[in-house]
Amino acid sequence: MAGGAASGGSSAADTYAGARNWLLMPSWVVLIVFVLAPVCMMLIYSFLTKEFRGGVIWEFSLKAYDQFFCDRGLFGDEPCAIEWTYITIFWRSIWQAGAATILSLIIGFPTAYFIATRPERTRAMWVFLITIPYWVNLLIRTVSMKFLLRDQGPLNDFLISIGLIDSPLHIINTNLAVQLGLFYSYLPFMVLPIYASVERYNFALSEAAADLYATKWTTLRRILLPAVKPGVIAGCILVFVPSLGAFLAPDLLGGAKNFMIGSLIEEQFKGNAGNWPFGAAASMILLTMVLIILLIFARQQRKAEATS
Amino acid sequence: MNDDAQIAVDVRDAVKRYGDFTALQKISLGIRDNEFFTLLGPSGCGKTTLLRMIAGFEDVTEGAIFLYGDEIATLPPHQRPVNTVFQNYALFPHMTILDNVGFGLEMRGKSKSEARARAGEMLELVQLSQFAARKPSQLSGGQQQRVALARALAPSPKVLLLDEPLSALDLKLRKAMQIELKHIQRETGITFIFVTHDQEEALTMSDRIAVMSAGRMQQLGEPKDIYERPRNMFVADFIGETNLLEVSVDAINDGRAICHLGGGHELTCNAVDEVGVGSKVHMSVRPERLFLSDQPTESESLKGTIVENIFIGTDITTIIDLNDGPNFTVRTSNSDRGNKRIFEPGAQAYVNMEAGSARLLVD
C-alpha cells in the first residue's frame, strides 16, 4: 500500500500501483501455495488424532505434543514426567548440525578467501568449479561418501598405504561420519556468501592494518573478520538450518545410534507404521527452534551491518 | 654526526619489475631527515610504486632501501617504523574514530587506556576531538582525511608516507589541508614523503621535489630550482606553463647559446652541458618572463603579430605570432596594466625577455 498507491490522485500513479500489484502476483502465489499453506496444514495436523494405518482422524488432540514432551509410563496413565528420548534426538541434531557448520566454516572461509583474491577474470571459473560436484544428486553423493569412508574404503586404504595408520579407522556409523556427510552436502552454501563479502572487502584496510604494525593474524581477527561478518553469518545459517533437518546423511552414514530429527520426522510419514500428528508436531517444534535461531542470527547480522 | 644520520630514507638503485614490465628503473635518492619531500609525476610514472616499496607493500626487485642506515627492503610492512596516509584513507569502518587512531599504538604493545589517551591527543592536533566516539562513515571526506593523518602520526613514525592524500577533496578544502599538513610537518619534525600528480601542490608544500616520469627520476631539486631551471623537456612541460620551442644551436659562448628559431629569428639561451653546437633541441621560456612593447628594447626582442588576448583573472595571456616563426605565449599580470600596453589582435609588437630567461633543455 506504500508509494504509488498512497499518493493516489494522478492516474499515472494509479496505473503504476495497479500494474505493480499484478506483477507481484507470482510471488504471492508462491508464498501462499508453498509456504503459508503447508505450514498451516502441518500446524493443523499436529493437533489431530492419529489413524493407525497412517493418516489422521479429524478430532482435536494434544496427544502428539504430549507424546513428545511427556513420559507417562508403560500404560500411558501416569502423570507427566519429562520424556528425554526426543529431546535427546533434538539435542544431538543441534550438536551434529553445529559441528558440520563449524567444519564448513573452517574449510569454507579459506576457500572463499582464496577465490575472492584470485584475478578477477578467473574468479567465475573457481566458483563454477566449486559447484560442479553439486550437479550430482544428493542421495548419490551421500551413498558415495559411505563407500569412501567405510573400513575397507579408499580413505582408509590411502591412510594405511602412506603409513599414517596401521588398522582402518572406524568412521562409518559414527557422529563424525554424519558431520562429514553434512559438511560435504552444504559446503557451497558456506563458501558462496563468504566469497561475496570478501570480494567486496577493501583490501586497503588490510594494508592499513599491516602499516600500523598488526601481524597477519591480528589483521584477520580484528579487521577482515568484522568486515565480512554478514557473509559468515549468512553462510552459517545456510549450512546449519538444512543440516538440522537433514535425514539422508544421518540415515546412510550414521546408523541406528545416530538418529537425527530429520529421520524421526521422515519415519512418521513412511508406510503404515507412521504417526502423522506426531511427525507434524515434531516438525512444528523444529520449525520453532529454527525460527528462534534465525532471529538470534538476524539480530547479530543487523548489528554487523549497522557498523560497516 | 656522520652523513648517514642526516638521510632518513636512502633508496639505492631500486628497480621494480612486474613480469616484463619495468615500473621503476634504477631509482636512487636520499630523503633528508626532517624534510617535506614530494614525489611528483603523472599517473603511471611509478611514484606510488616507490612509496609502496618504502612502506613494504611492494617488494624491491633489485636494489636496497635504508631507513636511517638500516636496510628495510626485506622487512614485512608491520615491522617497518613508517606509517602511511592512504589515498582513500582506509579507515577501519567498524571502529570508532578514537579506536582507529589508537590502533597502531595498541599494536605496538601499548595498553588500551594508554593508546586511547594518546589517540585523544592526536585528535586534538587535527581538531576532531568532538568526533572521537563516531564511526568513520559519519564523517565528511575532509574529516576522514584528518583522522587518517592522526592515525598515521599517532605511533610517532620515523617517516610518514602520504599517498595522494588530498586528491579526493574539493579545491578549497585541499588548499586549507596543504597549509595544515605543512604546519603539522614542521611542528612534529617528522620526515614526510608526499606523493602527488598536482604540480602546484608540490611547489607549494615541498622542501624538495623528485619529478618522475615513465619509471625514471627526471629531476630532483628545490621547487624554485625545478621551476626556474627545468633540466629536460618533460619537467619544463609538466611543471607550470611554458613556451616550448624547437631550436637549432648555432654557437655556444661562455654559457650562452645562440639559437635559431626559424623564420630568421635568433635568441640567446642559457646553454647546458649536454647540448652542443649544431644540435636541434628544445628551449623553454616561462610566459611571465616575457613582456610586450611597440619598439625593440635593449634586451632580446622579436617582432610579431598579436593573435589574441585571453583574460584569466589575475593575468592576461597574449598569443603573439612571430612573422614566419613560432608562436609565443606572454603573460601580463593584471596589476601591471597601468604600465604595460595591451595590444589589440592584429597589431605589430615586439616580444622581449631579459637575457637568461630562455633555457635549452635535454630531450
Probe site for chain B from A211, A215, A221 (most B CB atoms < 10 A): A211
Q: Touching check for B340 and chain A: CB below 8 Å?
A: no
Please state, in angstroms and rounded to a whole number, the distance separating the CA atoms of residues B165 and B89.
7
In degrees and rounded to multiples of 5, residue A213 shows phi and psi of 75, 15
The residues, any chain, with a CB within 8 Å of residue A45's CB and separated by 6 or more, are A56, A276, A277, A280
For residues A289-305, average pLDDT: 82
pLDDT at site B1: 41
Domains of chain B: 3-233 (3.40.50.300), 241-361 (2.40.50.100)
With a pLDDT cut of 90, the percent of chain A lying above it is 51
CA dist list (Å): B144 to A265, B89, B291: 56, 7, 46
Q: What is the largest CA-CA distance in chain A?
A: 83
pLDDT at A3 over 70: no
Pairing verdict, β A70-71 and B315-322: unpaired
Q: For residue B59, what is the DSSP state?
A: -
- Give the other-Cβ count within 10 Å of A179's Cβ: 25
Q: Touching check for B83 and chain A: CB below 8 Å?
A: yes
Cell numbers 612593447 label which residue?
A: B293
Of A88, A94, A45, the C-alpha closest to A68 is A88
Mean pLDDT by 10 residues, chain B (363 residues): 68 92 92 94 92 94 93 93 93 94 94 92 91 93 92 94 90 90 91 94 94 94 92 90 88 84 82 81 90 82 89 87 86 74 84 86 82
Q: How many CB pairs under 8 A join A and B?
A: 62
Q: For residue A224, what is the DSSP state?
A: I
- Contact call for B155 and A214, based on CB within 8 A: no
The three three-digit cell numbers of residue A235, written as one number: 553462510
Mark out the alpha helices in chain A (DSSP H runs).
Answer: 4-7, 11-30, 37-46, 63-69, 84-116, 120-131, 138-149, 154-161, 175-200, 204-211, 216-219, 225-245, 248-249, 261-268, 276-306
pLDDT at site B252: 85
- pLDDT bracket for residue A7 (50, 70, 90): very low
Please state, in angstroms and rounded to a whole number, the distance separating the CA atoms of residues B143 and B91.
11
Of B71, B43, B42, the C-alpha closest to B56 is B71
Chain segment A23-64, per-residue pLDDT in tens: 999 999 999 999 999 999 999 999 999 887 778 889 999 999
Q: Touching check for B133 and chain A: CB below 8 Å?
A: no
pLDDT at site A1: 38
Mark out the alpha helices in B108-215 (DSSP H runs).
Answer: 112-125, 141-153, 171-188, 199-205
pLDDT at site A306: 66
- Domain formed by A84-306, architecture: Orthogonal Bundle (1.10)
Dihedral through CA A155, CA A161, CA A165, CA A167, nearest 10? 80
3-state secondary structure A153-191: CHHHHHHHHCCCCCCCCCCCCCHHHHHHHHHHHHHHHHH
Dihedral through CA A109, CA A115, CA A119, CA A125, nearest 10? -170
Of B81, B87, B89, B91, the C-alpha closest to B190 is B81
pLDDT at site A6: 45
- pLDDT bracket for residue A304 (50, 70, 90): low
B137 to chain A: nearest residue by CA? Answer: A308
Of B189, B190, B227, the C-alpha closest to B208 is B227
- Contact call for B57 and A307, based on CB within 8 A: no
Buried b (16+ CB within 10 A) or exposed e, A206-218: bbbbbbbbbeeeb
Please state, in angstroms and rounded to a whole number, the distance separating the CA atoms of residues B362 and B228.
15
Please state, in angstroms and rounded to a whole number, the distance separating the CA atoms of residues B169 and B165.
9
The three three-digit cell numbers of residue B20, written as one number: 616484463
Q: Touching check for B104 and chain A: CB below 8 Å?
A: yes
Chain B: nearest CA to A227, how far in angstroms?
7
- Contact call for B107 and A223, based on CB within 8 A: no
- Give the other-Cβ count within 10 Å of A128's Cβ: 9
pLDDT at site A5: 42
Chain A: nearest CA to B241, how far in angstroms?
36
pLDDT at site B257: 87
